[in-house]
Structure formats: C-alpha cells, structure tokens
Structure 1
C-alpha cells in the first residue's frame, strides 16, 4: 500500500497515526496538493489523503481510509464494531474533522496566494473561527475528566482529537484555547507522548 499526502495535512496525519497504531506497513509518498493534474489521475476529487492499494485501486477520504485500516489488524482496535460506543467514537471523529476542516479554510483564506489581501474575507474567517470555538467547547465538555475521549480506551476519537488540536497550534497559534479548556490541554499532552504522534508531528514553520 502507498499513502499519498502532505506532511502538514491533519487528515493525512490522522491516517498516518492509525497506520502506526495498527503497525501496518505502508509507504508514505509526499504529494503537493496543489499539483491537481497529478492527484486527479488517482483521486477525482483532487484531495489527500489517498490510499493506493496493491492492485492500484484508490481509496480516499480519511474516514473511509481509517475505517478500512482498522479492519486489517486486530492490534489496537480503534473503532467499536457497533452500538452506542461506536456512535460516540464516530461523533467525536466528525466533530474533530470539522475543527480541522474549518482551520484549513481559515489558513487558506489568510494565506492562499491566488487572492490579494483586498479579496480576502474577514467575515468568512470569523465564521470559521466561530465553528472552531463552538466545536472546542463541545469537545472539552464531552472529554471532561475522562482518561480518553470516550472513556477508558484510546480510540479513533483520540486520534482525530489529537490531530485537530495539534493542527490548531500549527495554523492558528494566536487562538487561546488552552486557558479555556484545561481538559483538552491534558488530553493533548497525553497524546503527544505516544510514539505514533511523535513520529507524525508536522514540520513547524
């Protein structure tokens, strides 16, 4: 298998963390996400992460990829098979994916070279920041005093939460979420000690 992606993409990192936690062999191929002609040949959506199977079949969207990877090995099961426990993990994943999506939009609106400063929209940035802060409030409330996002076990919820929080540090360093959410600080510090997170830490600017 080959994983195509960017070292700074939180969605790519999410997949890389799962590969490390599941101890699965996969070659990582760095890709320029703006080289659409190249990526479109593999993924019609022109997005990463994209997992290329041994037969050449492409699997895309981080949620689809990680769910498939979780079935490949019994080591460190990350997504419960059914019931309310599975629902809770997937809700956490969706919430944290939403934080990452909004953060990407803020970063691009502020930095994309295809627009001039006059073309950038402060209202759009404010809207996305509102989503981020509301999602952080909910995430902190749900984590509370738990050891992990969904209780006593490390799961996909924690993978995505860790990637989302680290991406906020990378792309929105001025956002002061730590003073408001000590439970998330505790969770981030715990996750940062795992080898899977240390090995996939994005390059710093």
Structure 2
C-alpha cells in the first residue's frame, strides 16, 4: 500500500496511527496539496490528502473510508466495533473530531491562505469557525467518561485516535491558545497517549 499525504495533515496522521496500531506495512509519499507542483489530483481528483493506493491502481480517499478499510485487514487491535450501537458510538466520536478539524482548517485557511489578500479575509468567518471548534471540544469534554482509560472502554479505539489527533493539530497550528484549559478529560487522554509509539512517531510537523 502507498499512502500519499502531508506530515502536517491531521487526517493523514489519523491514518498513519491506524496503520501503526494495526502493524500494517506501507510506503509513504509526501505531497502538499497546496503546492503549485502537487501531483495529488492525478491520484485523488478532489486534490485532498490522504489517498491510499492499493496494488498500484485502486485508490481510496477520505480518511474515514481509509481507516475503516484498514481496520478490516488485520485482527490485531480492532479499532472499530463490528456493528450495533458500539460501532455507531465510535464513529460518532470520529465525526465530532473530524468536524472540529474541518472548522479549525477553515479558520486557518481564512487567516493564512496566500490566495487571499488581507482585505479579502473575513473575521466573521474566522469567529464562526472558532465557535464550532470550541463547541466541539466542549462536547468532547462533556461526553468523555471519567472512570475508564479510553473514550469507549478499556481499549484504544478510533475514537481516541481521532480526538487526540484533532487536539494535537490545534495545538500545533494555534500554539498561542490553550485549547485544553477547563477540559481535563481531554488533557488526560492526550497525556496518556502521547508516549505511545504510534502517536509519538507521527506528531505533526512541517
């Protein structure tokens, strides 16, 4: 398998963590979708990362599709329950974390994208996106259980991976803001997973 993506992308990192946890072999090809010389549209017509190339031809894209596929490849460390309410619970956590990321990315692009001048930037849009991020983090804190080590029980799941990936990216891109102030459950989860090899080896970087 060939994974195409950016080392700074939280969506790519989520896939890389799953690959590590599932002990799956793959090659990594770095590509910045915002660069003028990006080759990504030749693989993913949407021009987004991550993209996972299977057997040199078939391509999967969207991190949610990719991680769900990867979880079926090995019985080692199942990260998504097979069905029922437990599966829906984990996927809802992932949707919430990805929604926080989507809003965070929108906020960052509005503030920094070189394709817009300062006069074209919209503070109201930044504020709206920030509000979504804060509400999402508040919901995570409120829903996080206090009496178990992980979000959905005694074992690591995709819920934990998605949430910590989102929190780490916010800290990476907006270090001036303390995203975990008043959110002790999220802080504890992040601290618990930080030393784990799959998380430590994939920390976001430029």
With normalisation by structure 2, the TM-score equals 0.95
Structure 1 equivalent of residue 101 of structure 2: 100
What are the within-5 Å matches in structure 2 for residues 111-150 of structure 1? Answer: 111-145=112-146, 146-150=148-152
Deviations 1:73-95 (A, max 9, x none): 00010000011110100000000
The answer to whether 1:21 aligns with 2:21 is yes
Shift of 1:137: 0.6
Is the Cα contact below 8 Å between 2:4 and 2:49 reproduced in 1? Answer: yes
Separation in 2 of the partners of 1:184 and 1:35? 33
Of 12-21 and 49-58, deviating more is 49-58
Between Structure 1 and Structure 2, how many residues are aligned? 204
Structure 2 stretches lacking a partner, 5+ long: none
Whether the 8 Å contact between 1:103 and 1:172 is mirrored in structure 2 is no
Residue equivalent to 2:3: 3
Q: Is the 8 A contact 1:3 1:50 kept in 2?
A: yes
Distance (whole Å) between structure 1 residues aligned to residue 74 and residue 162 of structure 2: 19
The answer to whether 1:51 aligns with 2:52 is yes
Q: Distance in 2 between matches of 1:174 and 1:119?
A: 24
1:72 and 1:118 map into 2 onto residues whose CA distance is 49
Query: Separation in 2 of the partners of 1:177 and 1:13?
Result: 19
Structure 1: stretches of 5+ with no match in the other structure: none
2:50–2:61 Cα contact (<8 Å) kept: yes
* Contact in 1 for aligned 2:5/2:28 (Cα 8 Å): yes
Deviations 1:20-61 (A, max 9, x none): 000000101000212476211111111100000114111000
> Is the 1:4–1:51 Cα contact (8 Å) retained in structure 2?
yes
Aligned to 1:164: 166
**TM-score, length basis structure 1:** 0.96
